[in-house]
Chain A
Amino acid sequence: MPAATSALHLVLTGDPALYTIVRLSLLVSLSAVLLAAGIGVPLGALLALTRFRGRTGAIVLLNALMGLPPVVVGLVVFMFLSRSGPLGSWGLLFTPPAMVIAQTILVTPIIAALSRQTIEDLWVEYRDELTAMSIGPVRRVTTLIWDARISLLTALLAGFGRAAAEVGAIMIVGGNIEGFTRTMTTAIALETSKGDLPLAIGLGVVLMIIVLLINALAWGARRAGERIAG
């Protein structure tokens, strides 16, 4: 297993090329999840707590968008950001911000849909008490988001999993430029096709470790939250 040995060497010796890729990947995916949380959680709360014509359709659409194909998102963002596109003047194509935009679009429906379900379930439970306490709409939303924070963390994790694992969208809008827009998933795809398995395996190992670590942290946070808040 010479490839695996070389991969382990790259990981353990802190190979600069490998860790540059890891850093960028984390930066892009975490930024996308934070942005998506800022949009998705309030959107989920809005859908959970308001009644309007077409609400059911909106929920069905949101749930369907959880399965957005990354390459389609990449294509659409590419068309918007390309020189001839409506946002071409921003000069974002083939930059990390373009990758963040694409991943945010991919992740927002996941966070919004899971938040909607979580907040709606809690609202069913809290409705009588909060109504009896004359809690207004804004406080109602903040209360539900705060009390559902542990479950919402799971929604964010699901979003991070989607962002960290996808390759199609960021390949199209990032261009996989070495040292600039190359992430773990695009590098793994490229290095595998080139036959450079050590770097691909090394990145794969790091990616798995990151996913495991983040899930372990979230699990710890969930346990701590349950101990403190019940």
Chain B
Amino acid sequence: MRGPMSDLPLSLVDVTILAGEVAILNEVSVTFTGGAPTVLIGPNGAGKTTLLRAAMGLVPATRGRIAWGGRDDAPPDKRAIMFQRPVMLRRSVADNILYALRAANAPGETLQDRTQDLLTLVGLQHLARRPARRLSGGEQQRLALARALARAPTVLFLDEPTASLDPYATKTIEDLVRAIAKLGVKVVMSTHDLGQARRIGGDIVLMHRGRVVEHTPGAQFFDEPRTQEARKFMAGELLV
């Protein structure tokens, strides 16, 4: 799935994002490189969603620098995001994917085949003609994932992709995330679910109050957390 240009490494250097007087991100420095998925964890309001949006290029940094593949003006052609509550366009499942493919300037002769491939990848081929808004929550998440993949991204941001899904739908999404990562796409996702972070995360970024508190490989994070906040978070204590 990698294109000729990659957005990796993706670096945020001393990035601060203000909403009025409040710092949503506060001097955040973090770098995402290729490989296994990176999982952002942290309590509500920690800044996970804002970090994902900033890394996607949807929110400008008030201060600091964001660089994709070494360039801070890289066009967003090779990155995609799936929002926590993805909006289904008012058209069929297949037409939602077709729309995303056309938006990504996919060649016309490949549109039908790629639509079918993506539908098959996310297991929605039998629902191709159904209105997207009539899908269940889990199916909508899978369609949103297919739509994001239509951009053939090198980096895919997932904002709590399994929030409010049942365990079966959650497992389906997790399997898809692993499959996508195996295709060479860098996945950066946020979650509240420590179990999910352990199952999926190659490296873990713990955020708290707009700052990156810890960024370590998954095994190290869960076995030997470096910070007090990480130990408290894993112990189920409230980070306030």
Give A contacts to B, CB under 8 Å: 125-126, 128-129, 131-135, 139, 143, 147, 226-230
Contacts and interface: CB of A to CB of B under 8 A. Distances in A.
Residue among B76, B103, B133 with the highest chain A CB neighbour number at 10 A: B103
A230 B76 contact: no
A203 B150 CA distance: 57
Given A139-B103, A147-B90, A230 B133 contact: yes
A126 to B, nearest CB: 6
B116 interface: no
24 contacts: A125-B87, A129-B83, A132-B83, A133-B103, A133-B104, A133-B147, A134-B77, A139-B103, A143-B89, A143-B99, A147-B89, A147-B91, A227-B131, A228-B92, A228-B131, A229-B91, A229-B92, A229-B131, A229-B133, A230-B90, A230-B91, A230-B131, A230-B133, A230-B134
A74 B147 CA distance: 52
B91 A133 contact: no
Nearest to A128: B83
Given A132-B81, A230-B133, 20 more contacts: A128-B58, A128-B83, A129-B86, A129-B87, A129-B89, A132-B58, A132-B80, A133-B99, A133-B104, A133-B147, A133-B151, A134-B76, A143-B99, A226-B131, A227-B131, A228-B131, A229-B90, A229-B131, A229-B133, A230-B131
B58 A131 contact: yes
B119 interface: no
B94 interface: no
Nearest to B83: A128
Given A132-B58, A133-B103, A135-B103, A126 B91 contact: no
B132 interface: yes
Contacts of B56: 132
Residue among B80, B90, B92, B131 with the highest chain A CB neighbour number at 10 A: B90
A220 B17 CA distance: 49
A106 B193 CA distance: 57
The B contact surface, by secondary structure, is: mixed
Contacts of A229: 90-92, 131, 133
Residue among B99, B100, B133 with the highest chain A CB neighbour number at 10 A: B99
Nearest to A132: B81
Contacts of A228: 92, 131
Given A131-B58, A132-B80, A133-B151, A126 B131 contact: no
A163 B56 CA distance: 48
A221 to B, nearest CB: 14
A34 to B, nearest CB: 24
A126 B133 CA distance: 13
B13 interface: no
B128 to A, nearest CB: 13
Contacts of B89: 126, 129, 143, 147
B163 interface: no
B74 interface: no
B88 A230 contact: yes
A139 B104 CA distance: 12
B118 to A, nearest CB: 14
B98 to A, nearest CB: 12
Nearest to A133: B103
A132 B81 CA distance: 7
Contacts of B104: 133
A135 B90 CA distance: 16
Nearest to A122: B90
Contacts of B86: 129
Contacts of B91: 147, 229-230
A133 B58 contact: no
Contacts of A135: 103
A130 to B, nearest CB: 8
Nearest to A226: B131
| Complex A-B, nearest 4 residue pairs according to Cβ-Cβ distance, in ascending order | A230-B131, A230-B133, A147-B90, A133-B103
A107 B91 CA distance: 29
B103 A134 contact: yes
Contacts of B92: 228-229
